[in-house]
């Protein structure tokens, strides 16, 4: 316990700082200092560094907040990229002040360690005195604690700006924090406060949407375009219109000083009596005491896709023989973690970026993510930016009005963006998109609208964006061939797909693909003879999963029984297969096997081999292959 004289001295120090104005303009700081003295029994000169949890303890803390931490990654990345040049550290703590997500540049790691600003560090007020995270937990509002505002003398060189993130029923879920160890002042922290508060609101609204995906949701915004989640309030309700959950912003808007919204019917609030008229609407504002707001009702995920439609979607996915999510993930824990995050982000239309070599499954993963999140097959739109002439990409993406340019179709074109409305747009090789179109794409992502070529009025559009490239986009940014702001919009949620020859689960993937091919052909599960197994295990797989799929389908088709040997493998790049039959013999056997399985139905065999019927007929003629005559 402190002596009475020591306690009086500390109280006097607090009073002097209030009189000097260092705490007077920050509501809550003086009260926090008072708690540090009288409740927590702390001394500014005797504060130890914050305790730091072990990796196992941090992992245990992660589990209850898995969704929140996953959904926050994009915003954490954008904040870090914006503020790291000023040596800021970005953290996301739980409601007890434990730093669970942490980003810093190498240049400040030593200073962070000296100040105790580390992953797993605990910043509660009772342990560390007045600090940004601890005060935010108490005050539950955005605020800054600048240098000498800190209670601990050891932290007077640090400035923190924080904002709360609320979870179910308005309970505090976490605190978003940016901290700098440079000398700072209130004006610079005021600028940081705007960024942090907006980022926290976006995370909060994504978290709300995720929690309430099974319920209808009402979104409020002062802007009819609903282009920025930071400007929104949200609530969820059941089929009877009774409120199940609400963000604090929605609570403040509807009942500023009243009881909780939970359990109350929407119809009791003036302007929301006929809330069903807001389904899909965004152009009918409602006047409230605090201003004019636009509303939009989003139905529960999957309601618009009927049971029949969902069944068709799944069947079409099953019929598509490209690698599935399971094929791509395999037994690779790193890929599984990335794909798990990608699923959550795609569900909330947060843009993601897939990076990997050709054939690693980028397109297949994008399509599977679309279907896994309730998307209809026809709303998945893919375009390869490298396969279209630069002068045609704009009209391909944005569409055009009749007569917009010489050679335009008489009826015009909707464009791929409108085709993807309500679904997913997959932009493969986005690094090859011209800079001018990158600017237009960024505008669509920010504003949710665009003007088709030759048109005057903008059209509204909403879709999930998945972009992909085998190139290093960061390098393209450095060379001026890719917009930095578009890169940051995508790269905050990056899923890296490793090359097949670098995966530790390669042998298991080979077996999985063989089994899949056998199921596809209606054959028993095959086994690999030892020599064939060693050959495939040692092969470099330059074509990655795409090549593996081809090789396994070929081997299963060529093997007359359930044992696959060297003679059943196709030619492999750089591998001498002495017992491989001639290409024409292999092709004849492959076609004949497919025709037999289809009852000599040429269209069915062509579909199985994924070639056109015309190609099938041409190859049959070249190989003198015809249906055997029936015996009398």
pLDDT tens track for 57-100: 888 888 888 888 878 877 888 888 888 888 899 999 999 999 99
CA distances from 220 to 294, 459, 470, 485 (A): 6, 21, 40, 27
Q: What is the pLDDT at residue 574?
A: 55
Q: What is the pLDDT at residue 24?
A: 43
- Model confidence at 144, pLDDT cuts 50, 70, 90, reads very high
Give the span between the Cα atoms of 528 and 352, in whole angstroms. 38
Q: What is the pLDDT at residue 314?
A: 35
Question: Which candidate, 213, 264, 217, places its Cα nearest to that of 237?
Answer: 217
Could you please report the per-residue DSSP string of 537-564? HH---TTHHHHHHHHHHHHHHH-SSSEE
Q: What is the pLDDT at residue 20?
A: 45
Which burial class, exposed, middle or buried, applies to 470 when counting CB atoms under 10 A from its CB (0-12, 13-18, 19+)?
middle
- Model confidence at 356, pLDDT cuts 50, 70, 90, reads confident
Per-residue pLDDT at 485 exceeds 60: yes
Q: What is the pLDDT at residue 278?
A: 67
Q: What is the pLDDT at residue 161?
A: 96
Question: Which candidate, 579, 571, 583, 577, places its Cα nearest to that of 619?
Answer: 583
Q: What are phi and psi of 337, to 5 degrees?
A: -65, -45
> Of all residues in the chain, what percent carry a pLDDT higher than 70?
83
- Model confidence at 506, pLDDT cuts 50, 70, 90, reads confident
> Of all residues in the chain, what percent carry a pLDDT higher than 90?
19
Q: What is the pLDDT at residue 489?
A: 85
Handedness of CA 463, 468, 473, 479 (dihedral sign): negative
- Which whole number is the average pLDDT over 298-321? 44
What is the helix (H) or strand (E) element at residue 233, kind and residue range? strand 232-237
Give the span between the Cα atoms of 359 and 470, in whole angstroms. 10
């Amino acid at each position: 316990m402190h002596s009475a004289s020591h306690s009086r001295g500390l109280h006097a120090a607090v009073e002097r700082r209030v009189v000097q104005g260092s705490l007077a303009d920050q509501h809550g700081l003086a009260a926090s200092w008072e708690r540090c003295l009288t409740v927590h029994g702390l001394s500014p000169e005797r504060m130890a560094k914050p305790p730091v949890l072990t990796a196992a303890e941090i992992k245990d803390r992660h589990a209850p907040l898995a969704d929140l931490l996953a959904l926050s990654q994009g915003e954490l990345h954008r904040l870090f990229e914006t503020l790291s040049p000023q040596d800021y550290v970005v953290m996301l703590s739980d409601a007890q002040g434990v730093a669970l997500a942490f980003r810093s540049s190498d240049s400040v790691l030593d200073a962070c360690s000296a100040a105790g600003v580390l992953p797993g560090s605990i910043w509660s007020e009772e342990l560390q005195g007045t600090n940004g995270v601890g005060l935010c937990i108490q005050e539950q509002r955005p605020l800054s604690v600048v240098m000498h505002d800190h209670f601990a003398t050891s932290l007077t060189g640090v400035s923190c700006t924080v904002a709360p993130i609320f979870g179910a029923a308005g309970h505090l879920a976490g605190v978003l924090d940016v901290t700098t160890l440079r000398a700072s002042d209130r004006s610079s922290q005021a600028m940081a406060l705007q960024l942090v508060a907006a980022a926290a609101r976006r995370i909060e609204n994504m978290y709300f949407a995720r929690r309430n995906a099974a319920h209808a949701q009402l979104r409020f915004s002062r802007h009819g375009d609903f282009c920025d989640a930071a400007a929104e309030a949200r609530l969820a309700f059941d089929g009877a219109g009774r409120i199940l959950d609400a963000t604090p912003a929605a609570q403040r808007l509807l009942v500023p000083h009243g009881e909780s919204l939970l359990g109350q019917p929407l119809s009791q609030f003036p302007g929301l009596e006929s809330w069903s008229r807001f389904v899909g609407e965004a152009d009918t504002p409602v006047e409230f005491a605090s201003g004019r707001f636009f509303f939009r009702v989003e139905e529960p995920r999957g309601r618009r896709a009927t049971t029949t439609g969902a069944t068709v979607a799944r069947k079409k996915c099953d019929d598509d023989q490209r690698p599935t999510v399971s094929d791509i993930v395999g037994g690779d824990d790193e890929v599984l973690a990335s794909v798990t995050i990608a699923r959550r982000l795609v569900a909330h239309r947060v843009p993601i970026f897939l990076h990997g070599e050709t054939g690693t499954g980028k397109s297949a993963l994008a399509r599977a993510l679309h279907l896994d999140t309730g998307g209809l097959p026809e709303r998945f739109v893919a375009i390869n930016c490298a396969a279209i002439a630069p002068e045609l990409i704009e009209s391909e993406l944005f569409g055009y009005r009749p007569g917009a340019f010489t050679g335009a179709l008489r009826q015009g074109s909707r464009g791929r963006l409108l085709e993807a409305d309500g679904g997913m747009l997959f932009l493969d090789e986005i690094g090859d998109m011209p800079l001018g179109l990158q600017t237009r794409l960024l505008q669509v992502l920010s504003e949710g609208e665009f003007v088709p070529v030759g048109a005057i009025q903008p059209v509204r559009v909403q879709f999930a964006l998945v972009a992909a490239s085998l190139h290093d986009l960061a390098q393209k940014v450095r060379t001026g061939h890719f917009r930095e702001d578009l890169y940051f919009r995508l790269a905050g949620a990056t899923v890296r797909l490793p090359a097949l020859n670098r995966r530790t689960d390669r042998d298991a993937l080979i077996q999985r693909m063989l089994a899949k091919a056998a199921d596809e052909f209606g054959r028993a599960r095959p086994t690999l003879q030892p020599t064939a197994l060693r050959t495939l295990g040692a092969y470099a797989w330059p074509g990655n999963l795409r090549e593996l799929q081809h090789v396994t389908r070929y081997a299963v088709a060529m093997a007359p029984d359930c044992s696959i040997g060297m003679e059943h493998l196709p030619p492999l790049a750089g591998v001498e297969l002495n017992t491989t039959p001639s290409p024409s013999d292999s092709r004849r056997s492959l076609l004949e096997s497919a025709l037999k399985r289809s009852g000599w139905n040429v269209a069915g065999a062509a579909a199985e081999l994924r070639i056109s019927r015309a190609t099938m007929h041409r190859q049959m003629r070249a190989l003198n292959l015809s249906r055997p005559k029936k015996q009398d």
